[in-house]
Amino acid sequence: MRKGFQRRFDPIKVLTDSQVEAIHRATLNVLERTGIRFESVRALNVLKQRGCKVDNETKIARIPPSLVEECIRMTPSSFAVKARDPKNDLCFGGNTLYFMGSGGARYTDAKTGDVRMPTQEENDQYILLLDALGTVDWFSSYSPYFEVEGVEPVMLCPRSLASRIRFTSKVSRGAQATDTFIFETQLAQAAGMQLIGVCEAAAPLAYPEDAINAAFEYTGAGFPMFIAAGSVMGGSSPATVAGATITNNAELLGAVVLIQSMRPRTGIIANDVVNPMDMQTGGLLFCAMGVNLHQMAFNQIWTQIYKIPTMNCGAMASNSKLVDYQCAYEKIHTAMVSALSGANSLILHGGVTAELSGNPILAVIEDDVANIIGRTIEGFEVNEDTMALELIHAVGPNPGSYLGEEHTRTRWKKEYFVPAVADRLSYDEWITEGKKSIIDRATDRMEKILSTHKPLPITAEQDKDIERILEDARKHYRNKGLL
């Protein structure tokens, strides 16, 4: 089981108790009065049986507050996920923080910002790198790259998972696009692991058929679920943080009701991926101030009130095109706020260019960032030993020194974090060593990892099963006219 990081102090609260109550009541009101559109007759039938008022023409289900609250109570406050290697199993919930590797549609050059299609080998090497990085606990769907040279778009999701099975033994999230969930479920089962399934809304207040079919498939396989809504403040949700919190809550609680009605007590991790709209271009503002406030409110309500584990995607990518100062500051303030406000997982490593691209060198740098964030929320111990009162007395005033003390020698490593790639040389040493930037240093570390790290191998039989399932997928999509 992966340990992740353990938060040892109370999370930051951005809302008062009465504000939490007001938002929850408003959410229940939206679910009961406005309702959620489910683009699936099967889902509407399930919801009708559970007491929802269903309008078959508009496909809107109006969900009674009692059912919403029953399903919240039914959702476990923590749940485990089985990885291909038991040492990479996860347990979401409580005070644990895990990091998910990010990615992007394509590969970006870390120095020039030029974006191009990655090759299959580059995709697989990136997975291998993330397998080796200690702070990457799990993988997103179709990651690290959403597009790969020579891979047909409709085959991208199943082939992406096949690569992640071969090059990492860590947990992956499944995808929901166009029947991919059928083949991803089979791939995971062939590898003897669980996926975290996915059910992602198309905000505002609607679930497309693919998302619902994916939920039926993944819960049918007994997998836990990742739910998300992905609204855009000012576009698919109100522009205000409070309003966007209510619609996002309603969308996610709609999924909670549906999933608990499909398979009671299914483990769920609720994701917050709400970005303000850039009102000049219509694009998404990643890592914006509004994201921070939204995630803080979300974490407070879901982890502390609903007691359902949370995921934050605010730091998945920077709007910067380069691995530069903007990329760093945008991602770090959002990731840090997520961690401090109680998220159980957040996404970080490698995403840049507003989700358009990813870079493995950035992922290496962000391995350090994740360690710093994780170690920060672990806080520090206050006891007789760490307060070191007797030592302070023994060392006394200057010229006393703590450097030669056993206490210093044995405690400093626990109290400090030594980054793997940050430049902390003296100026003269930096000149002598060739004026290396952080990108140079991270590149060195990446190359070293890739030349030595080996993934936990799959068996020959598993490899054969994977190829068979991928061939079945190709046949399926050919029959549908998508290949």
Partner 1 sequence: MNEEVLKELKDTVLTWDRDKAEPVARKAIELGVDPVRCAEAIADALKIIGDKYSRGEAFIPDLFVASKVADLALRLITEEIRKQGKRMDSLGKVVIGTVSGDIHNIGKNIVATLLFAEGFEVIDLGVNVKADGFLKAVNDHKPDILALSALLTTTAMEQRNVIEGLKRAGVREKVKVLIGGSATNQDFADRIGADGYGATGPSGVKLARQLIGR
Residue in 51, 86, 283, 379 binding partner 1, rule: CB under 8 A: 283
Distances (CA, A) of 129 to 123, 358, 361, 446: 10, 13, 10, 7
Query: Interface with partner 1 includes 479 (CB under 8 A)?
Result: no
Cα gap 430→70, rounded to integer Å = 61
Cα gap 218→233, rounded to integer Å = 29
Cα gap 116→463, rounded to integer Å = 29
Which residue stretch of 121-129, 140-148, 365-373, 453-461 sits at the interface with partner 1 (rule: CB under 8 A)? 140-148
For 149, half-sphere exposure in the C-beta direction (CA atoms, 13 angstrom radius) is 11
Query: Interface with partner 1 includes 281 (CB under 8 A)?
Result: yes
Q: Which is nearer to partner 1, 218 or 306 (CB)?
A: 218
Angle at 228 between CA 225 and CA 232, to 5 degrees: 175
Closest CB 208 distance from partner 1, rounded Å = 5
Cα gap 472→159, rounded to integer Å = 12
Give Dmax over CA atoms of the chain in angstroms. 83
Q: 90: which strand partners?
A: 81
Q: Distance from CA of residue 195 to its chain's centroid?
A: 14
Query: Interface with partner 1 includes 279 (CB under 8 A)?
Result: yes
Q: If you search the block for the tokens 């350090």, which residue do you land on? A: 368
Query: Interface with partner 1 includes 480 (CB under 8 A)?
Result: no
Cα gap 189→329, rounded to integer Å = 40
Closest CB 61 distance from partner 1, rounded Å = 16
Q: Are strands 268-272 and 310-312 parallel, antiparallel or unpaired?
A: parallel
Cα gap 301→249, rounded to integer Å = 9
Query: Interface with partner 1 includes 39 (CB under 8 A)?
Result: yes
Determine the residue type at 291: V
Q: Which is nearer to partner 1, 200 or 366 (CB)?
A: 200
Contact set for partner 1, span 80-119 (CB under 8 A): 105
Closest CB 30 distance from partner 1, rounded Å = 19
* Structure-block tokens of residue 81: 């996920």
Query: Interface with partner 1 includes 122 (CB under 8 A)?
Result: no
Query: Interface with partner 1 includes 280 (CB under 8 A)?
Result: yes
Angle at 347 between CA 341 and CA 352, to 5 degrees: 120
Closest CB 463 distance from partner 1, rounded Å = 26
Residue in 65, 192, 222, 235 binding partner 1, rule: CB under 8 A: 235
Per-residue contact flags (x/-) with partner 1 for residues 353 to 372, judged by CB under 8 A: --x-----------------
All residues at 6 or more sequence positions from 53 whose CB lies less than 8 Å from its CB, including other chains? 35, 61, 62, 64
Q: Do the Cβ atoms of 227 and 255 come closer than 8 Å? A: yes
Closest CB 37 distance from partner 1, rounded Å = 9
Query: Interface with partner 1 includes 232 (CB under 8 A)?
Result: yes
Q: Which is nearer to partner 1, 275 or 310 (CB)?
A: 275
Which residue stretch of 41-49, 82-90, 206-214, 399-407 sits at the interface with partner 1 (rule: CB under 8 A)? 206-214
Residue in 178, 189, 326, 408 binding partner 1, rule: CB under 8 A: 178
Query: Interface with partner 1 includes 282 (CB under 8 A)?
Result: yes
Q: Which is nearer to partner 1, 452 or 479 (CB)?
A: 479
E strand or H helix at 245: helix 241-262
Residue in 89, 147, 440, 463 binding partner 1, rule: CB under 8 A: 147
Q: Which is nearer to partner 1, 94 or 235 (CB)?
A: 235
Cα gap 248→258, rounded to integer Å = 15
Residue in 177, 188, 446, 469 binding partner 1, rule: CB under 8 A: 177
Which residue stretch of 64-72, 273-281, 429-437, 438-446 sits at the interface with partner 1 (rule: CB under 8 A)? 273-281
Query: Interface with partner 1 includes 182 (CB under 8 A)?
Result: no
What φ, ψ does residue 225 adopt, rounded to 5°?
A: -125, 145
Which residue stretch of 204-212, 331-339, 360-368, 390-398 sits at the interface with partner 1 (rule: CB under 8 A)? 204-212
- Three-class SS of residue 348? strand
Query: Interface with partner 1 includes 206 (CB under 8 A)?
Result: yes
Closest CB 118 distance from partner 1, rounded Å = 14
Residue in 47, 127, 157, 339 binding partner 1, rule: CB under 8 A: 157
Cα gap 159→243, rounded to integer Å = 39
Q: 100: which strand partners?
A: 138, 347
Closest CB 249 distance from partner 1, rounded Å = 20
* Structure-block tokens of residue 192: 């003897």
Which residue stretch of 52-60, 148-156, 261-269, 375-383 sits at the interface with partner 1 (rule: CB under 8 A)? 148-156
* Structure-block tokens of residue 401: 């020194």
Query: Interface with partner 1 includes 65 (CB under 8 A)?
Result: no
Query: Interface with partner 1 includes 149 (CB under 8 A)?
Result: no
The secondary structure of 256-310 as a DSSP string is HHHHHHHSTT--EEEEE--EEB-TTTS-B-TT-HHHHHHHHHHHIIIIIII---E
Cα gap 167→147, rounded to integer Å = 17
Closest CB 25 distance from partner 1, rounded Å = 28
Residue in 208, 290, 342, 358 binding partner 1, rule: CB under 8 A: 208
Contacts to partner 1 by CB under 8 A: 39, 105, 142, 146-147, 153-154, 156-157, 177-178, 180, 202, 206, 208, 210, 232, 234-236, 239, 277, 279-283, 355, 481-482
